[in-house]
């Protein structure tokens, strides 16, 4: 079984985990892992069995290149590691299905909802989930502030942003107005003062049921990703996450950001893909690669929610990859 990881970037661990999942106890490989990126300086490319340089996902012929790789390499599982590509792939889901390939991910509608943070906010509020107060209209924010429903500091971010790019913590009106004038498509989000939590969830692509949840308290963030965290369990949080992801219609691998504020859980954002903190789950024995490969073989996975040890810490550190040759 061959797996294609698109926009691999710096996710070396994801590539390595798939290679491990495709290695039999005897050491014999049962499939290959291919990776793509638009830059040959993406280190995860060199972790893969083979890699391809592709154009930007914004290019009109990008998907044609993906099709070419899939057919040439006899790919059976396809996934992306960046948010903007998820909708593009979901829009072509039928192409993958017609060729008996498994596209890991949710529907186009669900991917678009997750990518658009205001749309996700409105969906959550309409269904009674706790979430941060958010505004796409400056006048609405200022009215809410006068009424005492929100105050500085606030987060100002692109409504359709990804990877925490262009996110600013704003403490006063002058900076907010300056950002608002200079950048279109922004939203204002309440600053939640509480414990940030990350959840790695797998919704079985055959049964549609939530079969795995791993939760961690985020102790330190860097460049929008979890740098240090500790595993924990709370049945109430598991129940909330299970209800939420089924209500919203997610499928496959997702990453959910949650805040605990005064004993209540607030759903913040969702990435319908592997998150940067997933290695913590994997190293605690929560192997979602195996679940994905089972689904690709037509096997529905058994429910194993919270099947891991609490109090296990993850600490990221920098590594260096040296690569020589004309291909870089």
The Cβ of residue 11 has, within 10 Å, a number of other Cβ atoms equal to 24
Separation between Cα atoms, residue 288 and residue 282, nearest integer Å: 7
pLDDT tens per residue, range 69-99: 999 999 999 999 999 999 999 999 999 999 9
- Give the count of alpha carbons within 13 A of 301, CB side only: 24
Separation between Cα atoms, residue 43 and residue 227, nearest integer Å: 19
End-to-end CA distance of the chain: 28
User: Has residue 251 got a pLDDT over 80?
Assistant: yes
User: Has residue 163 got a pLDDT over 60?
Assistant: no
Give mean pLDDT, residues 185-201.
Answer: 96
Whether this model's pTM surpasses 0.85: yes
Separation between Cα atoms, residue 266 and residue 120, nearest integer Å: 13
Contacts of 52 (CB under 8 A, 6+ apart): 34, 35, 36, 65, 69
Across the chain, what does the average pLDDT equal? 95
User: Has residue 327 got a pLDDT over 70?
Assistant: no
Nearest to 258 by CA among 205, 249, 245: 245
- DSSP letter at 47? G
Separation between Cα atoms, residue 152 and residue 132, nearest integer Å: 13
Q: Hey, what domains does the chain have and what are their CATH numbers? A: 3-103 (3.40.50.20), 133-190 (3.30.1490.20), 193-315 (3.30.470.20)
Nearest to 272 by CA among 257, 258, 253, 286: 253
Contacts of 188 (CB under 8 A, 6+ apart): 134, 135, 136, 138, 141, 154, 155, 156, 176
Sheet holding 134-135, edge to edge: 134-135, 186-190, 154-158, 168-170
């Amino acid at each position: 079984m061959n797996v294609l990881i698109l926009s691999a970037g710096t996710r070396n661990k994801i590539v390595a985990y798939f290679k491990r999942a495709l290695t039999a106890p005897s050491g014999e490989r049962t499939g290959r892992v291919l990776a793509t990126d638009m830059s040959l300086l993406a280190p995860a490319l060199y972790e893969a069995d083979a890699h391809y340089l592709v154009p930007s996902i914004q290019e009109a012929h990008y998907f044609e290149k993906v099709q070419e790789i899939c057919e040439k390499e006899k790919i059976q599982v396809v996934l992306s590691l960046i948010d903007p590509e998820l909708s593009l792939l979901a829009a072509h889901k039928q192409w993958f299905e017609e060729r008996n390939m498994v596209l890991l991910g949710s529907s186009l509608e669900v991917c678009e909802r997750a990518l658009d943070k205001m749309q996700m906010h409105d969906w959550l509020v309409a269904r009674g989930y706790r979430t941060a107060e958010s505004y796409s209209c400056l006048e609405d924010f200022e009215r809410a502030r006068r009424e005492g429903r929100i105050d500085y500091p606030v987060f100002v971010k692109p409504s359709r942003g990804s990877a925490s790019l262009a996110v600013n913590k704003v403490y006063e009106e002058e900076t907010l107005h300056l950002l608002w004038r200079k950048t279109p498509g922004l939203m204002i989000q309440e600053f939640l003062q509480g414990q940030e939590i990350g959840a790695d969830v797998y919704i079985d692509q055959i049964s549609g049921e939530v079969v795995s949840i791993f939760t961690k308290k985020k102790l330190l963030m860097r460049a929008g990703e979890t740098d240090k965290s500790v595993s924990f369990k709370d049945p109430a949080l598991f129940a909330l996450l299970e209800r939420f992801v089924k209500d919203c219609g997610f499928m496959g691998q997702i990453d959910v950001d949650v805040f605990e504020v005064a004993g209540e859980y607030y759903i913040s954002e969702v990435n319908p893909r592997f998150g940067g903190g997933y290695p913590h789950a994997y190293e605690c024995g929560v192997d979602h690669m195996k679940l994905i490969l089972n689904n690709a073989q037509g096997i529905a996975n058994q429910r194993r929610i919270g099947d891991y040890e609490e109090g296990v810490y993850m600490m990221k550190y920098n590594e260096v990859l040296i690569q020589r040759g004309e291909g870089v």
